[in-house]
């Protein structure tokens, strides 16, 4: 008598537990009791990570218990209060959720292209076994890379924060140039493209834009499909990134054209995002910019006035929603620069 094939749900459970590292053996109330965290707070942290309530399901591992104990130790030492713990957890959940989705999509596609994963029967014994072997190889490498890159990013954030604190006395406030880059006609284009074509377009926009911004001395804050928000401590770096972004999109006939707004001033940083009037002004300047152009505010233009690599040409004043009358300046590349 032939051995019965495993049920699809059992295959999924086995692969999920391989990723988790330990079996799911605990309920929410058990995790709360063993960690010393009140059940209502444990559930609040779980939701902050981005997961739905699981009720009385056996859904938690010894790893979940250990993580909750670690977080509780910070609360016990008064390094965090309960609300701070939720904010830390939410930030981790938001960041790692997008990373995990990208990794699952990318490696799933690559494994299918290489014949490792059979898309016609992904949960069949052969395909599931092959995926399990690949996970054994991938997981430790990806984990080490994640920790390494996080440490590098944390070190860079620490440097920026200390520099801001020295200059202003407040870690969360700094003086930056903020840039918004917006793809023109993206909505119309997205209606004509197949889903996979649209995904490739967005991925290419995000990756190219990030490379250019970072290579010019800026930092990407976030991407929103057809937009990218970035900052730079040096207005010249933001200007260089903007002109390179425009040139990159002009040279690629498959990419929508860009329009960009730059503004310089006080910026409030919180949970990796940026806020304030300067951010709003950059966004509004983008909305009134023409395709293939960069508009900057007066503060940015004043700093760039003596930079030989750029040209600056005032344009007629514009009434900007929520801000009032502004006098934008058109940024260009100086001949031969």
Tell me: the pLDDT tens digits for 295-306?
A: 999 999 999 998
**Which of 22, 21, 43 lies closest to 32 in space, CA to CA?**
43
| Contact (CB, 8 A) for 183 and 285 | no
Rounded to two decimals, the pTM is 0.59
Q: Hey, what are 171's tokens?
A: 């870690």
**Per-residue pLDDT tens digits for 1-42:** 445 667 878 888 888 888 998 899 999 999 999 999 999 889
Q: Any idea what DSSP says for residue 289?
A: S
Range with the lowest mean pLDDT among 53-67, 145-159, 186-200? Answer: 186-200
pLDDT digits (tens, 9 = 90+) for 36-52: 999 988 988 888 888 87
Q: Calculate the average pLDDT of the chain.
A: 84
> Token pair 């770096």 is at which residue?
237
Residue 255 exposure: Cα atoms within 13 Å on the Cβ side: 27
- pLDDT of 169 higher than 50: no
Given pLDDT bands bounded at 50, 70 and 90, which one contains residue 170?
very low
Q: Which tens digits make up the pLDDT trace of 206-235?
A: 888 888 898 888 988 888 777 889 999 999
289 vs 157, more confident = 289
- pLDDT at site 331: 96
Hey, CA dihedral for 50, 55, 59, 64, is it positive or negative? positive
Query: Tens digits of per-residue pLDDT, 246-281?
Result: 998 888 877 788 899 999 998 887 767 888 889 999
Per cent of the chain over pLDDT 70 is: 91
Helix/strand/coil for 7? coil
- CB atoms near residue 125 (< 10 Å): 12
């Amino acid at each position: 008598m032939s051995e019965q094939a495993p049920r699809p749900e059992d295959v999924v459970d086995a692969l999920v537990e391989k990723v988790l590292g330990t079996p799911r053996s605990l309920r929410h109330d058990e995790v709360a009791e063993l960690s010393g965290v009140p059940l209502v707070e444990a559930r609040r942290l779980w939701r902050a990570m981005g997961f739905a309530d699981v009720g009385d399901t056996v859904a938690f591992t010894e790893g979940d218990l250990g993580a909750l104990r670690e977080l509780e130790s910070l609360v016990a030492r008064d390094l965090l209060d309960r609300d701070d713990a939720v904010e830390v957890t939410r930030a981790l959940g938001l960041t790692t959720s997008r990373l995990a989705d990208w990794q699952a999509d990318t490696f799933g596609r690559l494994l299918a292209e290489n014949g490792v994963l059979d898309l016609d029967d992904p949960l069949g014994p052969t395909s599931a076994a092959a995926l399990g072997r690949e996970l054994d190889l991938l997981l430790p490498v990806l984990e080490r890379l994640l920790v390494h890159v996080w440490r590098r990013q944390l070190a860079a954030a620490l440097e920026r924060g200390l520099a801001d604190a020295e200059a202003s006395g407040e870690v969360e406030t700094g003086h930056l140039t903020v840039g918004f880059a917006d793809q023109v006609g993206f909505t119309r284009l997205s209606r004509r493209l197949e889903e996979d074509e649209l995904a490739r377009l967005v991925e290419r926009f995000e990756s190219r834009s990030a490379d250019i911004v970072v290579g010019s001395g800026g930092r990407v804050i976030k991407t929103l499909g057809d937009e990218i928000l970035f900052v730079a401590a040096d207005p010249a770096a933001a200007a260089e990134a903007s002109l390179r972004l425009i040139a990159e999109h002009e040279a690629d006939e498959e990419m929508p054209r860009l329009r960009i707004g730059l503004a310089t001033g006080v910026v409030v940083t919180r949970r990796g995002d940026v806020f304030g009037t300067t951010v709003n002004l950059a966004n509004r300047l983008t909305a009134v910019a023409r395709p293939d152009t960069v508009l900057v505010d007066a503060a940015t233009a004043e700093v760039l006035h003596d930079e030989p690599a750029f040209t600056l040409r005032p344009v007629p004043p514009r009434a900007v929603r929520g801000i009032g009358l502004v006098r934008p300046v058109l940024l260009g590349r100086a001949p031969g620069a």
